[in-house]
């Protein structure tokens, strides 16, 4: 079985949860060798002095398909080739009950140091067809640092990041969370993330989006976030 077939089987063999809204959690998403390789290729960005400070959010963009942003290192290239394969996309669409086809794909490495709290419970923007979070936790990291999920029936602005969470995806290396963002009055995919752990200083993940239309998100203003490709290299 090759790596793509492994990932395809992981998706098709998994079951969605409807609590508190439809999502898919898959552990051991990539074959071990590919996962370790992908993770090792992110250290170029995570070995950065700025990530020794508290309350920092940093990022590095790996893919924006429509504007030809794509990694060239072997493991990351294979990882994204798999995520962009038609049969993989179809299997995710099937699980999340999506009929629309994505027209673009964006992915970044996203890291928070201790003390960073995303400011608001939110459903994700409606130009995103599928959201995927892929956790790059190390062994013995704090499992509670996954993505917090909340009731779909209320406006996220009314919800408290910590008190109102009803579930959290596990922050375990090579575990993924998929969902299709919805922002309807009675069905909002409310979620949020934070790092207030006493155990884990650096929370690391890929956040990837299959998009409804082509868009260049590399030009977006990323207020309050540090571009790890540019800043304070060791
Ligand atoms: Fe989000």
* pLDDT tens for each residue of 98-117: 999 999 999 999 999 999 99
Asked if residue 231 is part of any domain, the answer here is no
Supply the CATH number for residue 73's domain: 2.60.120.620
Determine, yes or no, domain membership for 84. Answer: yes
Task: Annotate 171-194 with b (16+ C-beta within 10 A) or e (fewer).
Answer: bbbbbbbbbbbbeeeeebbbbbbb
pLDDT number for residue 234: 43
Residue 151 domain flag: yes
Query: pTM for the whole thing?
Result: 0.96
Residue 135 lies in a domain: yes
What is the span of the domain harbouring residue 9?
A: 3-50+67-213
Q: Which of 207, 134, 198 is nearest to 171 (CA)?
A: 134
Instruction: State which residues of the chain have pLDDT below 50.
Output: 234
Q: How far is the centre of ligand 1, averaged over its atoms, from the C-alpha of 128 (Å)? A: 10
Q: What's the 2 CA to ligand 1 centre distance in angstroms?
A: 31
- Return the pLDDT at 119: 83
The Cα–Cα gap between 109 and 59 comes to 5
Distance 204 CA to ligand 1 centre (A): 15
Residue 234 lies in a domain: no
Q: How far, in Å, is the centroid of ligand 1 from the Cα of 192?
A: 6
From ligand 1's centre to the CA of 59, what distance in Å?
14
pLDDT of residue 232: 54
Q: Are residues 16 and 22 in contact, defined by beta-carbon separation less than 8 angstroms?
A: yes
Say how many domains are in the chain: 1
């Amino acid at each position: 079985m090759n790596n793509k077939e492994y990932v395809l089987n992981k998706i098709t063999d998994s079951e969605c949860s409807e609590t508190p809204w439809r999502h898919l959690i898959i552990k051991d998403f990539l074959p071990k060798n590919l996962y370790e390789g992908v993770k090792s290729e992110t250290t170029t960005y995570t070995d950065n002095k700025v990530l020794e400070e508290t309350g920092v959010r940093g990022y590095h963009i790996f893919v924006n398909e429509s504007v030809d942003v794509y990694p060239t290192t072997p493991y990351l290239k294979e990882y994204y080739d798999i995520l962009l394969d038609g049969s993989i996309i179809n299997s995710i669409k099937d699980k999340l009950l999506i009929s629309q086809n994505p027209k673009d794909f964006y992915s970044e490495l996203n890291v928070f140091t201790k003390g960073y709290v995303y400011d608001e419970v939110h459903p994700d923007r409606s130009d995103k067809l599928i959201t995927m979070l892929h956790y790059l936790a190390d062994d013995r990291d704090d499992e509670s640092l996954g993505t917090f999920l909340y009731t779909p029936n209320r406006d996220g602005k009314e919800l408290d990041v910590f008190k109102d969470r009803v579930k959290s995806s596990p922050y375990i290396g090579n575990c993924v969370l998929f969902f299709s963002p919805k922002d309807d009055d009675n069905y909002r995919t409310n979620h949020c993330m934070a790092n207030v752990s006493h155990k884990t200083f650096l929370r690391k993940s890929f956040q990837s989006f299959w998009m409804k239309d082509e868009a260049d998100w590399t030009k977006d203003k990323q207020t309050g976030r540090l571009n790890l490709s540019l800043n304070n290299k060791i």
